[in-house]
Structure 1
Amino acid sequence: MEHSEPGRAPKPSGGPPLVSGPLPQAVSRLISEVQDVLALVLLPWERDLSTHPSPWSVRTGVRRHLAAAVHPDVLTDVLLVVEELVENAYQHTGSARRLRVDREGCAVRVEVTDGDPAEPVLHLAHPVGPHHHGVLLVHELCHEWGVRPATDGGPGKTVWGVLREHPEC
């Protein structure tokens, strides 16, 4: 590797600079980009639902969080599961508290916590009318799903679903 001017990025022998611009700005930009990628891939995304944010804003947040980290087809399914779980918590419990979306290896985990301990009911027969489709949709789209007691210190439950990014996952 050749030496370069102080404060400038080093150049590999015979090639372009490894980074462009003054070194401090290039390093700062690289750190920012790495933090963004880590936030997308490794860190969970959470949203307080107690203020009853609109389904559009919830979907937008999840989309921004996962867009660069999962296949578009998987993202579509994740957004459907998010919407159904959040809407179910809004409609059937009146006490939605938290949405959490996280990566688990090559899968995506969606969790919605609410203050009602009653478990959702899976209607496998064709539901009549516009209701009772949500849990069936979650059941069909998720590799696995379930309910556990809330672990955030409050009463209630967390309904969760795991979507695989590909069959070998």
Structure 2
Amino acid sequence: MMDPCGAVAVLDSAICRGLTKQELYAECNRQHTDCAVVFHLLPHADQRSENGGESYARAVMTMRLGFAKPQQQVVFVDPLTGRTYRVDYCWRLADGTIIVAELDGMEKYTNPGMTNGRSMQIVVNEEKQREDGLRRAGVSVIVRFTFGDVLHTERLDRKLAEAGVPKAVAEVHV
């Protein structure tokens, strides 16, 4: 009954909390209802999403827009500073190109709990330093998008396509 991309976010959360895919399959089998949708969506679940927004965005990218499934929470090390950076989404292409995408929210610039008392200027400067570090670590392209882009899929589609994110061989549109 739920939007498939939203359902993937729920499945991600359940798996992240320790439920195995096998346990979810077993529970569906115990129910006397049609669980075909759950069986269809379960392969799309991934416990590496850090929040529902990341899960939903990944589901939109792959299931609605047909992009290749990204790796999530990939760590890069800046060879100059030794700092580590974890990215939301990463695609490594056969030609060596590395594309990362980051789901951005305004909270990291304005929420005192996330800025730790730093000014917006300092936070923006740190984001610039982070992007520089990612490039030194081998990242070729950095795509930034908002949840608004996820909801207006044509914007997300354009950003990912312009960045060179490949489409999946077999597209799944929902």
TM-score, normalisation: structure 2: 0.26
Higher gyration radius (CA): 1
TM-score, normalisation: structure 1: 0.27
| Higher helix residue share | 2
Using CA pairs below 8 Å that are at least 6 residues apart, which structure has the higher relative contact order? 2
